[in-house]
Structure 1
Amino acid sequence: MRPISLEIEGLQSFKEKQSIDFETLGETGLFGIFGPTGSGKSTILDAITFALFGDVRRAKNGTQGIININSKTMRVSFTFELLKDGARRRYRVERVSQKKKGSDNIAVIKIARLMELTGLGEVPICDKATDVTNKVTELIGLNKQDFTRAVVLPQNSFHEFLLMNNADRRRMLERIFYLEEYGKLLTDKLNRKIDRLRSCLDTLSGELRGYQDASDEALKEAGKAMEAAAAEKEKALRLYKELELEYNQAKEVWELVKEMADIEEREKHHASSAQDIADARAKLDRADKADRLIEPIRKHKDQTERLKKINVQLAEVQGKLPSVGADLLRYQKSYESFKKERAVKHPELVARKARLEDALSLKDEIDSLKKKLESLTETLTRLKNATEQKNLLIGQETEDYERLVAEADRLKKEWDTLVIDPEYRKHIQEGVRLEDEGVRLEKDLKGLENEHEHLIKMVSESEVRLEQTRKAIDTAIKEAEALTGEKDHHERMLQENKNNYQKKAQELQDIKGVCRVIQLRQDQIRDLKSRMDNAGLLLEKAEKRNQLLIKARDEAEVSCEKYRLQLIEAESMLDRDAALRLAGQLKEGVACPVCGSEHHPKPAHRANLEELSELESRVGEIRSRLEDADKALRNAQAKLLINREQLKAAKLQHDEAREILKAQTRELELERQKLPDALKSLDTDDLATQLEGLERELNLKQKELKDGEKTLSDLSERMKKLNETLSEERALESGILSEIKLGRERVMKTERSLKETRKLWEENHKKVSRFLAEWSISSIRDEMDRLDLNDQRAKAVNKELDLLNQQIGLKESRIGELKEELQAESGETIKCEAEMSHLKNELRTKQIRIHQITGGSDLEDEIRRIKDKLEEYETTERSLEEKIKNLETDHQNLREEESLLLSQKKTITEDMREDEDRMNKAFAGMGFKDTDDVEKAVLSEEESDAWKTRIEEYERAGIRIQADKERITNRLNARTITEEGWEEIREAWQEALAARDASNSEYDIAVHHYQNISMKHQRWLELTRELEEADKKMSLYEQIRKLLGGNRGKDNSFIDYIAEERLRYVAARATETLGIMTRYKYALELDADNGFVVRDNANGGVYRMVTSLSGGETFLTSLSLALALSEQIQLKGQSPLEFFFLDEGFGTLDRSLLDNVMDSLERISKKERMIGLISHVPELRGRIGRRLMVEPPASVGEGTRVFIEKA
């Protein structure tokens, strides 16, 4: 990190913006920041820290009281470079704060932003205060505390790293050298892995115990059971398929027979609605005829209503005509009389109006003249008033002028009395310096006395705290030992309970598995017994049905034989009567098939032919009965065959079920033998009750386990907190010991300082007394205050004189301007009076002429009266003409309307007569009596649609019924079946189906059992393999933890080793620098606890504690250590630090040692690594070639100013 520039505005003593160019300032590698005490040198380091981290270390809470008292806002902008990936990248961090509303002491962040400066411009990175701080920390790799300990060392803080305790120093080294990854982070990561692996081992062990029944023998037995179930399944499937075809065919025929019965029922219902549909058709037909007549009827009614309206209108028109004619005649006479009057008076009024209008123009001129006179009068009055005001103002301004001149003379005399002799002032200022030094020495003396008392009290309190801390450590150790024993006892008990619980859980799981198998076997046995009972019933029914079918077959064979003999006998008789049959077929004119003659004079007798016909009918009847008997015989034989197969299958099924039942009973007994002795004799319900009791007992043990784990967790947490407390108490003990040692040293140092300060104060008191006697004054401060008051008054008087002289000049100018304005206004007054006289004469002349025209009456009223009269003539004429015209129009309209209404009445009357004749003929032709009869027959659109819909549905239903009958008839194709026959086939098929499903269930159970054991066996192998691998990994983790040294991250020898090596290297580099500065008088080393000690080579190499070093020795050692540390810090492992700041500390060195230090700093500084020193020591200024000079704030309100000075 390399600083480029810094801008400060409004921070502490800085008011106006001040810029610092570090590139120019650091050209030689070493530069200094110089200025008097309180000028603002340390504020520059505060500005850098505030820009990077957002607070000022010296301020309360980091931000209180940091804004300049004369500023409302504060701005700091810091530009720096980082070397990243071999290339330099430039950044700018800027923060702006303002005073909180209502408080001048609290600063709040207004703007915070971090930007990267590239060739394309500024690239924003973040713009929130917290984000900026975090990003800066990430970029430079240091937090604020490490930054102020190793890079920018503020005033009174350069020795912090040297005196830091070992734990804090180790944590700091971990952060700045990125050792966290090898420290607590690595240990925590390893412990997390061990915890996860231990949990995994417990899980694998517990899960493995649940798979101990998945052996190879169990897998083989399950395979054999599955093969046997597969054979049984195949056998049941073959029987089922044999019966399924017959069942499906019988089912189809039976469903078609039932559907045909439903269709016939629908057909009967459909036929019962035929009469209602016929009535509906007649109703629709009559409504259709009425619809054709309804329009003429509606038209006839409309014409009747229209004729009534015309008669009413005609009566109204004929009643208005006489009155309108009389009004027209009366208005015509009035119009003629008005025209005669208007012709006489209108010309006289027009002439009178012209004369009055001429007079009116004169009146306008008179009004204009009056307005001019009024305006001139106002102007004259205003001019006179202005003249009076000007005279008054001139008098007042003259008085003010004389008063100001007198006041100026008085102030000049007072100023002469306030001037002080410069030599006397110089002596008094020297006396004030002596008095201020005395006050400062007295204040330092009191401060040192208070500090001495405070240090003694603090040492005493620290000794008491040390005794209390040691007692607390002993108590914590005893409590830790007790807790450790209690925790070990709980761990042993918890492990025993856990093993017992897992054993009980596994036993319960095994019992549950056996119980499930027993329940399954019992269900299968009950199902087999039910199947055997059903098979026995079916077997009994089949045997009875077989006897009945044999009897039916024998009866059908007897019937067939009887009808066959009757048919043979009837056919032989029919052959013998063949001639009679031929004679019955002869027709006259048709050739005989025997002789060929077309005439048949003696055919067989008719009676013989009738006997022949009866014989033929008998033969046909016997043949039909024979066919029915033969069909019945075939049907009986088929049923007998089917029944015999069913009987055979039922017997086979019954026998197989008996064998399976025996096997299941044996397996049930074998499963019962797996149960504990106390459970073997229990039935299923008692067994379930016992299992519930075992489960409750197991749940109680599980709850006890959880309570035990919680207790163990609480003990571990208490142990952890106790160990943390013990560590804190031991750290506190170490800190208190250091405090006591440091406090005793500070007491001795304070006593020496107190003695020196008291001596200086006594010398100063003597000097002040001699000064007061020499100048004969009682108090130097009072005299200086008097001189300051005189200076202030003289300055105020001088300022008042300048102001009075300006006012006097302004008064002189103002009086001259007023006199000039007064002279101009007098001329304007004379001119205004002459113009007013001329206008008054012209006004009198015009008024006399108007009086002559009007005779004294009001001119505008007379003109208005004449205009009103002329307008009245025009209005009256227009009104009479319009009224006559309207009456003529109304009279003509009434005549035309009367003629039109008479014509319409005649036409409508004739049309109505013709329409009535046509309607009466239509009524008679369509069967209606009158209009009311037609209207009753009319149906609404909804009613008509409803009847039509019902008829259409009736017709469609008939069509569907016929179509369904044909469809079912075609599908049956002369097939049929009775309900008894269907039930027999269905029952046989259902029995086959039940047998098939039972065999499938047995097979699925066997397959599931085999697959379950197979999967558990595979998982058992996997768990065994995973457990072996986890054990190996746990062994490796334990070895790594032993190498890291420590338990649960409380101690880490690995990180201690790395940090120690880093610290030894830093100490070695610091020793080189310290040797150069002290001419190898001192060396910095590490003791056995890795704390810093100083080897005093000038005293035989004796080792001294760093707390025993003097101020100068502490400064040199801390400076060497800080330079070595900053040299080694890597920013993100890539960029070295390129600057170092040190604030004060050089005042503790003598001249020789100061030269050595500067020689060393000049040698180790270079352009690539800037070193900045802040000091008020004059000797340093001559040794450093680049200097930043800091001027303190001026008394007139200006802030601190800076500028670069080159040697």
Structure 2
Amino acid sequence: MKPKYLQFCGINSFSEPAEIDFEKLLRGGIFGIFGDTGSGKTTILDSIVFALYGKIERARGGVGSDIINYGCDRAYVNFEFETESDEGRKVYRIEREIRRKNSLQKAELILIDGDRRTSIGDGKVSAVNALVQEIVGLSFDDFKKCIALPQGEFAQFVKAEKSERLKLIARLFGLEEYGEKLNARVREKYGFYLGQTQFCQGKLSGMEDVSKEAENSLKSALNESLSLQKAAEENFSRAQERYNLLRSAYEKGVRAAQVEKRLAELSARAEEISEKQQAIARYGGAAAAKKYGEEIQSLRDKILREREKSKMFEERGKSAAQKLADLEKRAETENFDAKINECGASLARAEYIKQDSELLKSKQTERDALKAEYKKFAMQAESAERELSDLTEEKRSLAAERQKAAALGDPETLLQKNFGGALLRGEYSKSFEYFGGRLEKLRADYPADGKLYFAVERELTEKQAHYRSLLEQTVEGRSPDEIFKSFQNLRETRDALTKREHRLELAEQEARRRKEEAGSKLAEITEKGARAKEEIDSLQTKINEVLGGHSDYNAFTAHLRASVSSYEKAKQEIAGALEKARAAQNEAAAAQKECEASVKLFTENLAAAEKNLAEELEKNGFQDLTEAQGLLARYPDIRKTQEETENFQREKLSLEGQRSAYADAASVSEEELASAKEEFENFSAARQKLFSDIGVFESRLKEVSGKLTEKLLIEKQLKHFQGRLDLLEKLRSLIKGNNFMEFIASEYLSDISASASETLLKLTGGRYFIRYKQGFFVGDNYNGGELRAVFTLSGGETFLVSLSLALSLSAAIYAKSLRPIEFFFLDEGFGTLDEKLVDTVMDSLEKLKNTHFSIGLISHVEELKHRIDNKIIVVGAAEGGSSKIQINY
């Protein structure tokens, strides 16, 4: 990224606008920012950071109204910068503003392509911030680390203790996560696996009696019981068969007598059952008719209730609408916002009224000085205008003489068409070779990219082709002496006219410059005078009118604050009442609409129910609903009646079938049946006991087998958790304290030292290089590469080492953006610099700068200020005033 233009106002000590043209400043590759401590040098960098990221590190929370100058109600920054992209170089402009009242920001990002400007980012602050970070390629933290290099800190950094040095590297590269954070994560994992191990050990302690031997013992007992099961089943089956045969014969005899008796009882109820069956057949229709009748009555009741509710909600909505209209009219009539703003404006004006009289005197003095300056430049403009008029007349005379000379011919044309041959071939050949060499150097030294490159390449190619064409021409005509003499005469005449014309042009340019300068100054003075007059009039009016006739300042401001409080309270009360009225109106309208929809639905359902009732009565032969209801009343429990008829039929059929079955029943005594039953019960008990034993064995075997499987799984898990626990224990010992973070930081320092060596070798003519071995050491190639401790270096050598490390560190951070580093600020950070160290600083910076890399030096050292041509002088703000910027190119 390379800055092009910066304008800012209202930030820190700058209450008045300030602007910087970085394109002019960066032409020399090096520029300086100089000023006393506290004058506002760092505010320039703060403004760039605020423009790009919307926050400043020195402000509370990064950003807020506290960065705004106390005399301003807002702060703004306009910043243009150029950056490399996949499509080539692009220029962007970001405009950002922050208000004191609510710390609200506005931001706009603009892509500049020649005269075309395109706004991007939708004007949303969050979208603009994201786009800027993507374009620049650096986060807010990374930008601070690699664009502004605190050189003084790095001078201390190279000599610092190991722990302090590692802390800085960890902070710059975000390595804290490899220190205590990593330890915390390992402790967390260790605690987890320790808990899992203890949990598994606890579960295994309750499974000591679970083993493969216990499982095999249960299997043997189960197999033995299963082998006795067949004999027990055979005995049981034989006894059961004999008992069942005897019992069946005995029961048939008893049952035959009971069947005859019951059949006689059922025959006496035949007529009653027939009547109930007819009622059952019509019962469903009667129940359906009753249901439709109840539904019809319910729907009629609902329609009546919904209509009454709809009327009630309609009245409620009208009442709410009237109340809403009254409140809105009152809010419009009262206009509390205007009253609050008016009181706030009065309070703000009263806040500064004590300082306005002194400011008025200052503005009147300033206006008197502007009047004197206006008179001076008005005389200069008049003098320049007279001189331009005289020069115009002289140019007319010169034009007539040039017209006469042109009629004699052009010397170059004469020489080009007639001189030819060997006299000009040498000159043409030199020009052809010159432009060819420049073309080759262009292609060798610069990448084929950008409009400027292709424009220069096209111009050189055309020049080379032109002289090639001249070399190929043959010349015929007069003798070379005659042609050359004519050429000299024509050229002398033309040169005399050209010199005269050049002198007139220079004089005219100078006169126009003085006229334009005077005009610009007059316009500037006029604008300043108008502003001063407006400010004087405004201040005078403000002093006269701000108290509005009140003589007691405290009473006046107290009255205004009380009024604001009263207006805000009344405004909130009306706003709350409006919200309630709107809610009541909306609720009434919604409820009324819901009631109307319900009436429509209930009416449709009523028609359907009446139709269904008529169809049901006709289908089941009822005269009306009353007849159907009578049937239902006679049989309140139809299910019981239906069950009664079904049981009657079923029992009758069953008894008739049994009568036939029992006709040939054999005779069995009670003694025979009792003997067979006793035998059967004995074999059944033996069989049941065997089944019970088998069930117990199977259950216990299943339980033991399941626990055995679980035990094996837990033992496997325990082995896994114990292995992880052992690994974590080793890891804890390896990363104890900050060992791992210090290892990574040392690797970073080694890489940075290797990169810094390239810069240091360049700055020292190949003499010094840097190595990191638990500290910084400098190798001396003039002494066989022997390493020296950094504390043995001179002040100038320490500066070169720290500068090389700072640049290497900045490049490492900037590398994450995948873009080249083109510009940075260097805060040299020394209290004083002797002449030798000043030479070292300047020589180093001169070696580092190039067309693609510029350096800004921030300092308050006078010697450096005199050694740098392009510079910004920051003058601190006087009491009640603004810091100012003076720029020297």
TM-score range, shorter chain: 0.3 to 0.5
User: TM-score, length-normalised on structure 2?
Assistant: 0.45
The alignment's TM-score, normalised by the length of structure 1, stands at 0.35
Structure with higher Rg: it is: 1
